[in-house]
Amino acid sequence: MSAPRSPAPAAGAASPAGAEVRVLRDGDPAVAALSADGWTVAAESWGARLRVTAAVLGRCAAAVTAATDAGWELLVLGPHDAAAVVALDAACAADYPDTAATRHDVPDAAALERDLRSGARWAYGAAAADGRLDAVTVLYPSVGREAAMVETDFTVTRAAVRGRGLATAVKAAAVLDLAAQGHELFGTGGAGVNEASRRANEALGYLVTERWLHLLPPH
Ligand SMILES: CC(C)(COP(=O)(O)OP(=O)(O)OC[C@H]1O[C@@H](n2cnc3c(N)ncnc32)[C@H](O)[C@@H]1OP(=O)(O)O)[C@@H](O)C(=O)NCCC(=O)NCCS
């Protein structure tokens, strides 16, 4: 599925073109040395964290209300929704930034169905009045450097309805529901070029905690 390589990307990962990529935290003194040797920044990525507070829950509730008022229903999705989630994601696959920092594979429907049934993943969606799934976010339990947390697998909105707050709303629905189940820390990340993704998260209270530079060698 999505691989934002965040917040701690694997050093020495391969770029789409197959060249070796060095992944260093922004500000690492080694960046200057590599740059002097001709390495160039091919892509940037970021990692963010959200800790549940009353203010966060208030922002999430407002985002859900805005989408509901605009005509979408926010849903907790289950195993029977896996095919619809995959169909939406497949229709949008070409819209994910494919960079040295991030890539996205459309999930396998059977695997997603199994994960949603077992609790290995959670999914939240926004459905139009006719039932069409227009946005979805998929998350999974993870262990960050600091504590157990809920990591985002991917979030996607149907192209025709982007910019209407649906990505923000499905992430908000996820935070509200999972916080009610006792989860306190959420993580996410993405490509530096994906401003919409970063802003959807920041609108709810995710704070960018780290930025990574993905460097390619000369030639
Ligand atoms: C990223 C994506 C999910 C955003 O979905 P969306 O429903 O349009 O997002 P929202 O309407 O909730 O907008 C979120 C924020 O991004 C901003 N935004 C929306 N489209 C934008 C764009 N093309 N460029 C910059 N900012 C944009 C919005 O203004 C909003 O910011 P604000 O709250 O400061 O106003 C959607 O563009 C998409 O599906 N892209 C392809 C898949 C992808 O890249 N997913 C993310 C990686 S997992």
**Centre of ligand 1 from the C-alpha of residue 17, in Å:** 27
* CA gap 57, 176 in Å, rounded: 6
Nearest residue (by CA) to ligand 1, atom 35, is 199
CATH assignment at residue 149: 3.40.630.30
From the CB of 2, is ligand 1 less than 6 Å away?
yes
Question: Is position 62 within any domain?
Answer: yes
Q: Tell me whether residue 194 is in a domain.
A: yes
Which are the contacts of 114, defined by CB distance < 8 A and separation ≥ 6?
Answer: 79, 120
60 within some domain: yes
Identity of the amino acid at 49:
R
Pairwise CA distance, residues 215 & 181, whole Å: 40
* Residue 153 falls inside a structural domain: yes
Ligand 1 centroid to Cα of residue 176, in Å, is: 20
Is 102 part of any domain?
A: yes
Q: How many CB atoms lie within 10 A of CB 217?
A: 14
Torsion 196-173-203-7 (CA) sign: negative
Query: 11 CA to middle of ligand 1, Å?
Result: 28
- Residue 105 belongs to a domain: yes
43 in any annotated domain: no
Q: Give the range of the structural domain holding residue 58, as residue numbers without chain letter.
A: 48-209
CB 72 within 8 Å of CB 125: no
CA 88 to CA 70: how far, in whole Å?
A: 20
* Ligand 1 contact, 102 CB (< 6 A): no
Q: Is residue 95 in contact with ligand 1, taking CB distance under 6 Å? A: yes
Q: Answer whether 105 contacts ligand 1 (Cβ < 6 A).
A: no
Q: What's the pLDDT score for residue 162?
A: 98
Question: Along the 219 residues of the chain, how does pLDDT read in single tens digits?
Answer: 454 443 344 444 444 455 688 999 999 999 999 999 999 999 999 999 999 999 999 999 999 999 999 999 999 999 999 999 999 999 999 999 988 788 899 999 999 999 999 999 999 999 999 999 999 999 999 986 768 999 999 999 999 999 999 999 999 999 999 999 999 999 999 999 999 999 999 999 999 999 999 999 997
Determine the pLDDT at residue 1. 41
Residue at 121 is within a domain? yes
How many structural domains comprise the chain?
1
